[in-house]
Amino acid sequence: MVTDFDFLLQSIAWPLVLLLAWLVAERVHATWHLPRVTSYVAVGLVCSLVNLPGLTVAVPGLDFLANVALSLVLFELGYRINLRWFRHNPWVLVLGVVESLITFGAIYWVGGWFQLETDMRLIIAALSVSASPAGVLRVANELRSAGQVTERVLHLCAINCMISVLLLKMVVGYWYLNTSGDLVLAAFGSIHVVGTSVAVGGLLGVAVPWLLSRASTHERGVTLVFALSVLLLTTAAYGLKLSPLLGALTFGIVARERRVHLTNAQRDFGTAGDLLSMFLFVYIASLLNWADVGTGMLLGVMLIGVRAASKVGCNLAAARLSGITERKGLLTGLALMPMSAFAILLLEQSRLYGFAPAVQVLSIMAGMMLLQELLGPVVTQRALMAAHETHVTKE
């Protein structure tokens, strides 16, 4: 029986946890200069551990809110992608594709050591290709980082995310084909979702700048219109069972090509974006089951090691070919360490759309996700600082 006090705790749990996360993050950042997102994750993990009422139960709408938050990040990442760079330096594009495929193959191979089923190995390998745009972009913006390594990390992060979605959708189609034998359903679960998501994002990327060009809109108004468009995209994606993450990334890339830009002052979409980002990291951390974390820690450490070796090794090997030094190649590979937020929401979407193995995969990868969430942003921060591309002033 739920008492009035329990109901009150459930009602105010999220506002209290977010306020606590902000307070802890500011204190830790000022004292030890750690990324704020690491503190957000730590607070979410602790609150999940103590089973805070209202936080660890299924609250309707939270997954949608988390997808809106990540879609805003992906739109901003897409808007910072310069397609002309790939034409001038195609080695960056080649590096992103080759490194993604090598990571996929290496993780799939390691999964065999632990006698995982083929479906599980394929899903884990597809997710491990991705880098977390939320972790990378938030850290870069917090440091006001700009330069050769930063731009390369952002471009490679976008490539990793797009290929990860494509690979996962192919695995979903393969699973539907094996379980139902229905080729149409398998194609609908992969080709249709990817193609339509990209098309919808591209359509918005053309339509919204066209509308803005015909209205006298100030800088904050442009940011508001883009934020509302991302909200519209996410809502439509849920209704049509598309990928809001892939659509938002495509939206940002096309909008950038249409010469409509966010200003530096509106990065992270202002205060509302900061709040949604904080919620995203706390929410993602609260999804992890501590029992799964303990049993899957050895596998998690192995997967992180292999994934890191793949990304660092590929960036080192292609450094000279792609126009940078080996040192910058090493730092670029290290800065791509975060992956959890994007991977977990990608799994959650697949589960909501009827992909049964998603729940089991999150359980298997819990140890890896915990370490990546806590340590990944710190590695990115240190790599960008070592590249001497940060422009943070004392507050």
Is the distance from CB of 265 to CB of 219 less than 8 angstroms? yes
User: pTM above the 0.75 mark?
Assistant: yes
With respect to residue 45, please indicate whether it lies within any of the assigned structural domains.
no
CA-to-CA distance for 183 and 171, rounded, in angstroms? 13
With respect to residue 338, please indicate whether it lies within any of the assigned structural domains.
yes
Range of the domain at 233: 59-386
With respect to residue 169, please indicate whether it lies within any of the assigned structural domains.
yes
CATH number for the domain spanning 238: value is 1.20.1530.20
pLDDT of residue 46: 87
- If one counts every other C-beta atom within 10 angstroms of the C-beta of residue 117, the result is 11
What type of residue sits at position 135? G
With respect to residue 196, please indicate whether it lies within any of the assigned structural domains.
yes
With respect to residue 124, please indicate whether it lies within any of the assigned structural domains.
yes
CA-to-CA distance for 278 and 41, rounded, in angstroms? 9
How many domains does the chain divide into? 1
With respect to residue 15, please indicate whether it lies within any of the assigned structural domains.
no
Tens-digit pLDDT profile for the chain (395 aa)? 456 666 666 667 888 889 999 999 999 999 999 999 999 999 988 887 776 655 655 667 888 999 999 999 999 999 989 888 888 889 999 999 999 999 999 999 999 998 899 989 999 999 999 999 999 999 999 999 999 999 999 999 999 999 999 999 888 888 877 776 666 666 666 778 888 999 999 999 999 988 887 776 666 678 888 899 999 999 999 888 889 999 999 999 998 887 655 554 456 788 888 999 999 999 998 888 888 888 888 999 999 999 999 999 999 999 999 899 999 999 999 999 998 889 989 888 888 777 788 888 988 999 999 899 899 999 999 999 999 998 765 44
pLDDT of residue 189: 62
pLDDT of residue 232: 95
pLDDT of residue 181: 67
Is the distance from CB of 128 to CB of 303 less than 8 angstroms? yes
Concatenated DSSP letters of 203-264: HHHHHHHHHHHTS---HHHHHHHHHHHHHHHHHHHHHHT--HHHHHHHHHHHHHHTT----G
pLDDT of residue 186: 65
pLDDT of residue 58: 61
With respect to residue 32, please indicate whether it lies within any of the assigned structural domains.
no
With respect to residue 172, please indicate whether it lies within any of the assigned structural domains.
yes
